[in-house]
Structures are given as structure tokens and as C-alpha cells.
Amino acid sequence: MTQAAFKVLWLMNEGVINCFREGSEVWVARGVLKLMGSGKIQTKRVAYMLAPPIFQQASVNEEISQMVLLSANAFRKDFQTIASPHQVLNASCALNCLSSLCNPELAELLYSEILPLYACTRPLLKKKACILSYKMILNHLDSAEKICPYLADRLRDPVLSVQIAAVTTIF
């Protein structure tokens, strides 16, 4: 399954395919969702890179839009476990994917899940959480009330790149 997903990703990046036959996009979306729940970083990385172009067809297909909401569980799992460097890479890939996929439903479900990432010891995750918060606020205005204090704290972060990410998000 991983090899097939990797081949689809490669073909999409090369511009060979940009859409699927009628009905096959649902099969691919199911496979991507299954790979997002995998335990291997290589598999998750391919799934998180393949998810945005596949799941962006959710406005056309109701079944895919349901799978986008199911993907919230995979994101939640990767955001909650960031103890080892392997898991930090999972969370980083998940943040990248969520920034591309963010819609009002996902923003409402997941904005509270990124709040602990602001206090993470890894500057990479803090930067990505700051940048993602812009998309979260844009898609779910009620989350601004909870996210803004965390962004304000990142302005006093000792790492300059985290401060820049917070300033970029605010302005």
C-alpha cells in the first residue's frame, strides 16, 4: 500500500495525473486515511503529503468529506505524542498537512489540540503551530480567543524564528 501511495504521489508531482477516474478517488482517500494511522514515519510522511490533493476534492464528493473529518483522529494522535524525535517528525508532517487541509470543520475540531504545541520544547513545532494558527483563526473565528494568548507568549520566546512566526501570524 505504501509503494502504491508513493507512486501516486510521484505521478502527481510529475504532472502525469491530476485527477482520478470516477470512483477511484474514494479508494485512494481510504488508502491515505489508512496510511495516516500507520506507525511508520515513512508511511505517514507519504500519506500526509498525498492527503491535501486527494482530500481537496471533498467539496465534490460527500464520502471524501467524511474521510477528511475522520482524519482528525490521526492528527490528534500525532499532536499528543511528541516525546521522541521520531514522534516530532510525525507531528511536523501532520502540521504541514493540516495547514493545507484546514477547513472550518477541522479547525473547530483541532484548534484545541495544537495549543500544547506552543509550549513544546522543540522550536520547529512551535513555529509550525504559530503559522497553523493563522489558518485555524481564519477558518474558525471562535478559536482566536483561545489561540491569541498563546501567540502573545511566543513573542517572548527565546528562539528568534519562533518570534518571527508569531509576528507573521499576528500581522
Successive 10-residue mean pLDDT values, the chain, 171 residues: 64 62 68 82 84 73 76 84 74 88 87 86 89 89 88 89 88 81
**31, 1 contact by CB (below 8 A):** yes
Site of grid cell 515513512: 42
pLDDT value for 115: 87
Site of grid cell 504532472: 15
pLDDT value for 18: 58
pLDDT value for 15: 65
pLDDT value for 160: 92
pLDDT value for 34: 84
pLDDT value for 16: 61
Q: State the DSSP code for 57.
A: G
**98, 72 contact by CB (below 8 A):** no
Burial (CB count within 10 angstroms: exposed 0-12, middle 13-18, buried 19+), residue 37: middle
